Homo-oligomer: A and B are copies of this chain.
Amino acid sequence: MGGLFQPNHLAFTLPIRLLKNMKQKNRSELTIYLAQQNYHIGNFEANTTKILAAIQEAKSQKADLIIFSELCICGYPPKDFLEFDDFILKSEQAIDRIKKETTDIAVLLGAPSRNPKPEGKNLFNSAYFLFEQEVTAIINKTLLPNYDVFDEYRYFEPSFTWNVVPFKGRNLAITICEDIWNLMDDPLYRICPMDLLMPQSPDLMINLSASPFDYVHGEGRLHIIRENVAKYQLPMIYCNTVGAQTELVFDGNSVVMNSKGDLMLQLPAFEEASGMITLQSDGSINGKPTTPVHALKEREVIPERFEEAHHIDLVHRAIVVGIQDYFRKMNFKEAIVASSGGIDSAVVLALASEALGANNVRALLLPSQFSSDHSVADAVTLSKNLGNPYDILAIQPVFDSMMQVLNPIFEDRPFSLAEENLQSRIRGNLVMALANKFNYILLNTSNKSELSTGYGTLYGDMAGGLGVLGDVYKQQVYQLARFINREREIIPNNILTKAPSAELRPGQKDSDSLPDYAVMDAILYQYIERRQGPKEIIALGFDEALVFRILGMVNRNEYKRNQFCPIIRVSPKAFGTGRRMPIVGKYLG
């Protein structure tokens, strides 16, 4: 994981300054345009159109070179699409089309390339340098992340050759994303591509990235850029992708840093943007230094304690982008949310309204005989505050008819979990019936605390196309609610102050079945984000029995999460593709 910059084995030992002085000569200015764009996986047509538009704009601004992000042609991560030859062919056709537009400008962009050698994997993760209608260089990625959500070693051959790309009197040291991270927990990371490029006297480092957001990663990224600049005493242009693709949200935050470590350009977080800088004849970069936004200030460290894992403004923004792009890329317009009057559905409604527009988010209130009056009242107030269309459908008649149908089998057995789940699933049915009838996408409201402990009903409240809060612990849901209410009371205060309840039996409270959320979230955070075992967690001062109880819940409920929809990832360890646990039925770890 991480982002800790480590000394490497093949460290470059030549005196860099001396080398630079030797090759200092008069060169013309180089104007470089950065395109921070939002791509759609496999949508070559849309991605190419977007890339071509930026090239036209850069040409009109007389840029010498335009830089796009990693695998921009096909979108990131393309996953097993890479195993299909026609997918690679389409990528090559797109490059051919773009190549034709490189008469007055050079283009640097990311795309897969074929490995010409018979041995090794079929593909490289590459940067294409296009100029004067030719592919003048292909640079391959060396360090292939294969942890958490990343599977690059499943598809790509690592590079084993390193060359600068000469362009208009400058030597460009081009790397791809992880290549500048030099993490030491991967054997391939013993190679440091920049060390190997230094003997060729580069003038400028350029990194093409597809580096996803999590609430600590932005900090780590700027730290790494700084460390590279400090080590090699070269300016760096860092171009990241932006926008969400199902679970992953890319935050952009592309930057240009001069060789002294000043931030000379900083593109905004979470939106498409472009910028232009000039590399002057003396190697400096034009303009005045800018101050880093707070997302980019420190070394990346997963905080030791849950209480320090905040950045709720960024989490808020990432989720909004995650919803927005899921709908846009899947060609959906309207969402539906089962609105219970509780904190989770309230926060989802507010986030979805911000992402899609309040009139595109329909709230469905589905009270049962166990719903308290305030639940309906609070949910109604919320939707009035937001401006959502909403409906109220009482589920009692359906529940009664279900129980009647089941009666020959259930007979007079007492009310139990089966009847609780039944209510949740009737709600799931009704909200899905509306979704199917009117083409809504059901947004799921389960939070990370519930998903961790299995406190949810499969096919009931666990239904939905996208997990909006699945990477947000209950405590963080409250933080989000307070953030949403930062200017005015959008979510009724009563929703923030009442005790959480599933309202599936008379007087039920979450605290009947679950430990206190504050303690539970802190333990879950140690186990899930920080990969601590029971011994380490107990050593932090938590009750032993409670720790084992909670870890047991997490492991036992893997089968439920296995059937859960994609979750918008905002933490360094989200449920989904980044956390791969066997289904074992009990705590065995």
Contact surface of A with B, Cβ cutoff 8 Å = 9, 40-44, 75, 77-81, 83-87, 89, 118-122, 146-147, 151, 153-154, 157-158, 184-187, 190, 245-246, 329-331, 391, 393-395, 397-398, 400-402, 404-406, 408-410, 413, 416-419, 421-422, 425-426, 428-430, 432-434, 436-437, 458-459, 463, 465, 531, 533-536, 559, 562-566, 577, 579-586, 588-589
Q: Which residue of B lies closest to A413 (CB)?
A: B437
Given contacts A563-B565, A564-B563, contact A582 B421 (CB under 8 A): no
Please determine whether B246 and A582 come into contact, CB atoms closer than 8 angstroms.
yes
User: Which chain B positions have C-beta within 8 A of A40?
Assistant: 584
Residue from the set A87, A391, A531, A582 with the largest chain B CB neighbour count within 10 Å:
A582
> Please, could you name 29 A-B residue pairs with CB atoms under 8 Å apart, sorted by A?
A41-B582, A41-B584, A42-B588, A43-B588, A79-B581, A81-B589, A83-B531, A84-B533, A84-B589, A86-B533, A87-B589, A118-B184, A120-B187, A122-B185, A154-B580, A246-B582, A246-B583, A330-B585, A393-B406, A394-B405, A398-B401, A398-B402, A402-B430, A406-B434, A416-B436, A418-B433, A425-B428, A429-B459, A432-B459
Partner pick for A405 among B89, B398, B458, B586, CB 8 A cutoff = B398
Shortest C-beta distance, A532 to chain B (Å), equals 8
A533 vs B147: C-alpha distance when bound (angstroms) = 29
Partner pick for A430 among B79, B187, B406, CB 8 A cutoff = B406
User: Which chain B positions have C-beta within 8 A of A89?
Assistant: 533
Please determine whether A406 and B433 come into contact, CB atoms closer than 8 angstroms.
yes
User: Which chain B positions have C-beta within 8 A of A329?
Assistant: 584-585
The complex is assembled from copies of this chain, and their number is 2
Shortest C-beta distance, A507 to chain B (Å), equals 21
Given contacts A408-B393, A425-B428, A436-B418, contact A588 B119 (CB under 8 A): no
Please determine whether B418 and A402 come into contact, CB atoms closer than 8 angstroms.
no
Please determine whether B437 and A418 come into contact, CB atoms closer than 8 angstroms.
yes
Shortest C-beta distance, A148 to chain B (Å), equals 9
A522 vs B397: C-alpha distance when bound (angstroms) = 46
Given contacts A86-B533, A429-B422, A531-B84, contact A582 B9 (CB under 8 A): no
User: Which chain B positions have C-beta within 8 A of A246?
Assistant: 582-583
